[in-house]
Every structure is written in C-alpha cells, then in structure tokens.
Amino acid sequence: MWLIDSSIGRKLIMSISGVFLVLFLLFHSCMNIVVIISPTGYNAICGFLGANWYALVGTAVLAGGFVIHILYALLLTYQNMRARGHESYAVTKNQKSVEWSSQNMFVLGLIIFGFLALHLYNFWYKMQYVEITGIQTGMFDAGNGAAYVKELFSNWIYCALYIVWLSALWFHLTHGVWSALQSIGLNNTTWLPRLKTIANIISTIVVLMFMSIPVYYLVGCGSC
C-alpha cells in the first residue's frame, strides 16, 4: 500500500495529521488561557464545547488523527531503526540546529503521550464525559471547570509534571512543524530557514500559553 510502503506516503500522513494536531493545540491553548483571565468566560466556553454534537464530532476526529499520528510514528520508528539504525527519519547533516529534537522525536512523543493520558483523565473524563453520560466521575462540579483547574494546579507536583510535559512538547513541535511543512513541499533553501523560524514561533506561543496556567497558580495569583 502506497501510504505505508512509500516513505513519501508515510511522511505525508505524519505531516497532515501533525499539522492538524498543531492547529488543535493552538485552539486549545487559546481556550485554556481564558481560565486565568476570566473564570466565568472559561466556564462558558466549556459549556459551549461540552456535550454538543459538534464538540463530540470534533473530539472523534481529533482522536482519530492522534491515533493515526501515533501509529505512523511507531511504524516510521520501527522501519528506520531496521533500515538505518538509530538515525532519525528526518535528520540530515545540514540540520544541526534541530539535531537533538529530530533524533529524539519518538522519546519526546512518548513523554507527551504519557502526560496526555493523565490530562485526558483529569479533564475530558471528569468534565466532558460527565456531560455526555451523566455519570459523575469526580468530587467537583463538572459545570465549574475553572474551580477544578484552580484546585488541580494548586498541587505543585502536578504543575511540575505539566511543565516537564510542555518542555517535551516544545522540542517536539519545533522540529515537527517545519518538518511537516517541508514534507509537503516547502523544502527549498529559501523556505527552510523561514519554516524553522515559523515552527519556533508557533511552538513557543503554544507552550507559553499552556505554561502560563501552572505558573499563574504556582506563584499564587489564583488566590489573589
């Protein structure tokens, strides 16, 4: 099958699913940062995106894209280890500035996946799942997500784990964004430096917006 047997096909699927997930992260980070600006506004957004059909369809599509991304990452890692030892599928000699992240995309992905499972348990399972099924899964009001976020991030251990996850996410994105765009054809000498700059900007914006939440509560602003 072309999408599996062809290296171009495999990279294309990884690129498309990756770009799709980056767009979701942009949206999700913009939504999450509202919690420290206006808890009421955050709760309103959560209510709007709760158990509505469009939210459920969006969740299903995102879940499908994420599964595809993971499966192809596993496939690429296995095939490249077999064909080229420990070399990363996207590493070239003239990409020294991203050598570490490109060589460790799979490990970074594992860190991200591990925390994502915890994140889904703490938020999707205890919030949207409750709205869908009506089954209470936590000792808090699922309609008051802002209060739950405050309670969760009052735990410095969770904040520390969250920051570690975001650090891994930054490295993963800085390589993944430009690599995805490069794979779909924007790979000449003029555009490659621009793609790396765009990747760094997008990754930094996303991670800083996410990171502002644990930092906000760690320094005690949430109790002001």
Six-digit token string for 26:
């942009």
pLDDT digits (tens, 9 = 90+) for 187-216: 667 777 777 788 788 889 999 999 999 999
> Does the pLDDT value for residue 34 go beyond 90?
yes
- What per-residue confidence (pLDDT) applies to 19? 75
- What per-residue confidence (pLDDT) applies to 84? 59
6-18 in b/e form (b: 16+ CB < 10 A) is eeeebbbbbbbbb
Q: Where are the domains of the chain?
A: 2-223
First to last CA, the chain: 58
C-alpha distance from residue 178 to each of 23, 76, 191, 198 (Å): 14, 18, 10, 7
Six-digit token string for 165:
């996850």
Position 2 confidence tier, pLDDT thresholds 50, 70, 90: low
- What per-residue confidence (pLDDT) applies to 216? 92
> Does the pLDDT value for residue 170 go beyond 80?
yes
Axis-axis angle for helices 145-152, 39-48 (nearest 10) = 120
pLDDT digits (tens, 9 = 90+) for 83-131: 655 444 444 444 444 456 667 777 888 888 888 888 888 888 888 788 7
- What per-residue confidence (pLDDT) applies to 90? 47
Instruction: Please compute the mean of the pLDDT values over residues 18-32 and round it to a whole number.
Output: 84
> Does the pLDDT value for residue 53 go beyond 60?
yes
> Does the pLDDT value for residue 60 go beyond 70?
yes
- What per-residue confidence (pLDDT) applies to 200? 85
User: What is the enclosing helix (H) or strand (E) of 197?
Assistant: helix 191-218
Which residue do the tokens 């919690």 mark?
35
> Does the pLDDT value for residue 151 go beyond 70?
yes
Cα 63 to chain centroid distance, Å, stands at 12
Least confident of 17-26, 105-114, 133-142: 133-142
Dist CA 52 CA 69 (whole Å): 26
Q: What is the DSSP letter of 137?
A: -
- Residues of the chain above pLDDT 70, percent: 77
Residue 191: Cβ-neighbour burial (10 angstroms; 0-12, 13-18, 19+): middle
Q: What's the pTM?
A: 0.75
2-223 placed in CATH 3.40.50.2000? no
